């Protein structure tokens, strides 16, 4: 966790921010605490996205998707304000390193651990796909390792697969190179099979 810098918010919604956990293409993630003492992860989008109507729609979909999945294999959504001047979402804080940091710091996982992580992530994807969703960004940095098993986080580019219109134009690929399925790289329609391909790349 990094200390808050000048210009960064000290509170978001009802949460006091304690430090910055990380940053990505969509925004920054902070460690926060509620008035009741609960520790949360607060994701705040970059300000320049706030005026983008399409992005707000996508962010609203992210929140809805994460709420539907729940928290058994993911970080549960506790609070959100997609309509705020700068949209944000608060999820339960998952204590534990991400898979990429664990491997970078300690080397490849033992075979038994790889099997356990793979089994947990497979169950997570069964839950995600059972709700008609595709995660579309299964990668080591989106896998948190906890004492209770792995957690799949960041539904920032998840999309419904129930036949509704996509927010991503055909021919445009979204995901993380190195873990994307061939159809995802080509910008074609993706199904749960694409997540399974990405899971295989994560475990390889």
Q: Which CATH architecture has domain 11-92?
A: 2-Layer Sandwich (3.30)
pLDDT of residue 75: 84
Q: Which of the following is catalytic: 137, 154, 162, 195?
A: 137
CA atoms of 74 and 62, how far apart (whole Å):
13
11-92 and 99-203 have identical folds: no
CB 195 within 8 A of CB 129: yes
> Annotated binding site for ATP, which residues?
43
Q: So where are the chain's domains?
A: 11-92, 99-203
Neighbours of 46 (CB within 10 A): 15
pLDDT of residue 165: 35
Please tell me the pTM assigned to this model.
0.80
- Which helix (H) or strand (E) segment holds residue 130: the answer is helix 111-130
Q: Which CATH architecture has domain 99-203?
A: Orthogonal Bundle (1.10)
Q: In the annotation, is 195 catalytic?
A: no
pLDDT of residue 56: 86
pLDDT in tens, the chain (204 residues): 899 999 999 999 999 999 999 887 778 999 999 999 999 999 998 888 888 888 888 788 878 877 888 777 888 889 999 999 999 999 999 988 999 999 999 999 999 999 999 999 999 999 889 888 888 889 999 999 998 899 998 775 555 444 433 444 444 445 577 899 998 888 888 899 999 999 999 999
Neighbours of 176 (CB within 10 A): 17
Q: What is the pLDDT of residues 69-78, one digit of tens each?
A: 877 788 888 9
pLDDT of residue 173: 43
């Amino acid at each position: 966790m990094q200390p808050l810098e000048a210009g960064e918010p000290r509170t978001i919604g009802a949460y006091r921010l304690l430090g910055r956990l990380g940053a990505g293409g969509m925004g920054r993630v902070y460690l926060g605490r509620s008035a009741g003492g609960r520790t949360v992860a607060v994701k705040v989008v970059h300000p320049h996205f706030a005026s983008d109507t399409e992005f707000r729609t996508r962010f609203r979909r992210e929140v809805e998707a994460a709420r539907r999945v729940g928290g058994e294999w993911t970080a549960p959504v506790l609070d959100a304000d997609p309509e705020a001047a700068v949209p944000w979402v608060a999820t339960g804080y998952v204590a534990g390193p991400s898979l990429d940091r664990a491997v970078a710091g300690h080397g490849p996982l033992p075979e038994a651990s790889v099997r356990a992580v793979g089994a947990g992530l497979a169950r997570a994807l069964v839950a995600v796909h059972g709700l008609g969703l595709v995660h579309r960004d299964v990668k080591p940095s989106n896998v948190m390792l906890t004492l209770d098993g792995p957690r799949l986080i960041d539904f920032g580019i998840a999309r419904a697969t129930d036949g509704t219109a996509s927010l991503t134009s055909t021919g445009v690929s979204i995901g993380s190179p190195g873990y994307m399925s061939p159809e995802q790289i080509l910008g074609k329609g993706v199904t749960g099979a694409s997540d399974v391909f990405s899971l295989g790349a994560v475990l390889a």
